[in-house]
Amino acid sequence: MTGAVDDRVPMRWQQLRSEVELLRRTPGRMRAHLLLTMVAALTLPIVFTYVAPLPCRQEHRAQTTAMVLIAFSVLNVEIGRILMGGVSRNQQAHKALSGWAFASALLLPPVFLLLVVPLTYAHAYLRGLRVAWWKWIGSAAYLVLAGIVAALVRSGVLGGRELMHGTGALGLLALVLCAASFLVVETGLLWCSALLNHADDEVWLRQTLTAGAFYGTELSVLLVCGLLSAVWTRAPWFVLLTVPVYLMIQRAALYQPMRERAEAAAALAATNEELEHANAFKVDLLGMLGHEIGNPLTSVVGYAEIGAEAAEVGDTATVTRSLAVIGRAGLQVQDMVAEVLTMVASESGALTAFPESCLLLPRLRELASSGEPNHQPAVDCPPDACAWVQPLHLEQMLRNLLSNAEKYADGASRITVVEVGETVEIHVVDAGPGVPPEFRDALFSRFGRAESHRRVRGTGLGLFITRELARANAGDVRYEPGSPGSDFVLTLPRA
């Protein structure tokens, strides 16, 4: 615990030094403005205490009134912190500070502004609002000066009478005029800060002062605290009844900021998740491209050199073999580029299909015969079986399934077509070791490869792309364990 306290002390000292440095960079006109307002705030309350007398009934409990106002300010800040989820750094819980200065101007001699405002500000500062100390002191000085003007207006309208004197009509007029004068002085001084200081340092203040919501909220705070002051002048115990009402008002005032904060937090979390997903995708893709392009390119460069040397000595057989290897490497890169482009289209939502009626038997025979002579699967397909699918997508899906069988099971053993209701099932069957049970859930995921097959050449995209293409054509693909081997079932609409 001691260590934690010791760690906070240097941090606070460093923060204080940075705030002093910020004050030094502030324009001279702004520093002069702050100095004048602080001097005026310290002297004018004392001077005007004798100009704005209070009703004699209130003078005997001035200290009690001041303590009640400070207690209400503390309660307001703490309730605001609770409603905002315990977050210490927020503006909302401190908006009523002007209200307590206004109530002090209505109920107490102006000199009490030098007690109420500093104490309410000090508590709010310690409990959350983190701004430069000199800006905080300047803001407090603004409220003191605004309170003096409100006290003078109150004295001019009411003289020595209370807010609730008679029918209360004159008190209501005084309350409205005092609130208006307080708001004019407060916002005028804030505008001075916004205009005299560097624009970059007062971005938040400029935005606040140009928003109409600020003036409505501030005026509401002043009127609520003015009403509290009126009740206090005649029936102090009734102030206790204003606490639950005030809680409901504050909750209503905080509802919109809390909802906006929750929505912003949800949007931020979603954005962070998308960024993490995109970053993981980028890392996986770069790693895969480095491996899958690097190997064929190495073959291309190596066999190009071998072919060039063989051509110089007239060894046509070696040249032919070298060109064949280069051609196969080029096809590998071409297939991989097609897979990556399909995957990117799927990720961006741009993968679309234009299906048409496709006769399956000739296409399956052509694909089966394109493999090595001893690795050509048998084809069992009804002569008139047709699928509703985009032809290029069908070819790419079947090539992926046959390539997968070639890599992991020494080739497919047969291709079988079964018509099931309104769908056509194309079974690509092999006699390999099958897919480990623990990996089957991730079989069709992007970059999904079993640990036991990490050394097998491949991007880990084939089955993922096959599923995306199948779904784009209103179909799907699934895995069924064989005995032995694997059975990949491509389901498509029947034409």
Task: State the pLDDT at residue 21.
Answer: 74
Average pLDDT over residues 316-345: 78
CB contact set of 360 (below 8 Å; sequence gap of 6+): 381, 385, 386, 387, 417, 424, 426
Of 333-347, 447-461, 475-489, the range with the lowest mean pLDDT is 447-461
- Listed in order, the ranges of the chain carrying CATH 1.10.287 are 274-347
Higher pLDDT, 332 or 232: 232
Q: What is the mean pLDDT of the chain?
A: 79
Of 237-251, 265-279, 292-306, the range with the lowest mean pLDDT is 237-251
Q: Which residue has the tokens 């007062």?
A: 202
pLDDT tens, position by position, 70-98 = 888 888 777 767 665 554 444 444 457 88
The closest of 153, 137, 150, 181 to 39, measured between CA atoms, is 137
Task: State the pLDDT at residue 289.
Answer: 66
Q: What percent of the chain has pLDDT over 70?
A: 77
Of 86-95, 318-327, 459-468, the range with the lowest mean pLDDT is 86-95
pLDDT tens, position by position, 224-266 = 888 888 888 877 777 677 667 666 666 665 565 666 667 777 8
Q: Is the pLDDT of residue 454 over 50?
A: no
Task: State the pLDDT at residue 348.
Answer: 58
Exposed/middle/buried for 97, CB within 10 Å: 0-12, 13-18, 19+? buried
- Residue 456's φ and ψ, nearest 5 degrees, are -75, 135
Strands 378-380 and 412-420: parallel
- Listed in order, the ranges of the chain carrying CATH 3.30.565.10 are 356-493
Q: Is the pLDDT of residue 447 over 90?
A: no
Task: State the pLDDT at residue 243.
Answer: 66
Q: Is the pLDDT of residue 493 over 90?
A: yes
Of 11-25, 39-53, 373-387, the range with the lowest mean pLDDT is 11-25
Task: State the pLDDT at residue 456.
Answer: 47
Cα torsion angle, 57, 58, 63, 69, sign = positive
pLDDT band at 388 (very low <50, low <70, confident <90, very high): very high
Instruction: Report yes or no: 368 and 415 within 8 Å, Cβ to Cβ.
Output: yes
Amino acid letter for position 495:
A
Instruction: Report yes or no: 348 and 382 within 8 Å, Cβ to Cβ.
Output: no
Q: Is the pLDDT of residue 103 over 80?
A: yes
Write out the H or E segment, with its range, that includes residue 335: helix 316-347
Task: State the pLDDT at residue 373.
Answer: 66
Task: State the pLDDT at residue 234.
Answer: 79
Task: State the pLDDT at residue 88.
Answer: 47
Task: State the pLDDT at residue 448.
Answer: 56
Average pLDDT over residues 298-310: 87
CATH number of 274-347: 1.10.287
Average pLDDT over residues 428-448: 80
Q: Is the pLDDT of residue 314 over 50?
A: yes
Task: State the pLDDT at residue 364.
Answer: 92
Q: What percent of the chain has pLDDT over 90?
A: 19
Task: State the pLDDT at residue 211.
Answer: 80
Q: Is the pLDDT of residue 299 over 90?
A: no
Is 356-493 a CATH 3.30.565.10 domain? yes
Task: State the pLDDT at residue 79.
Answer: 73
Instruction: Report yes or no: 110 and 5 within 8 Å, Cβ to Cβ.
Output: no
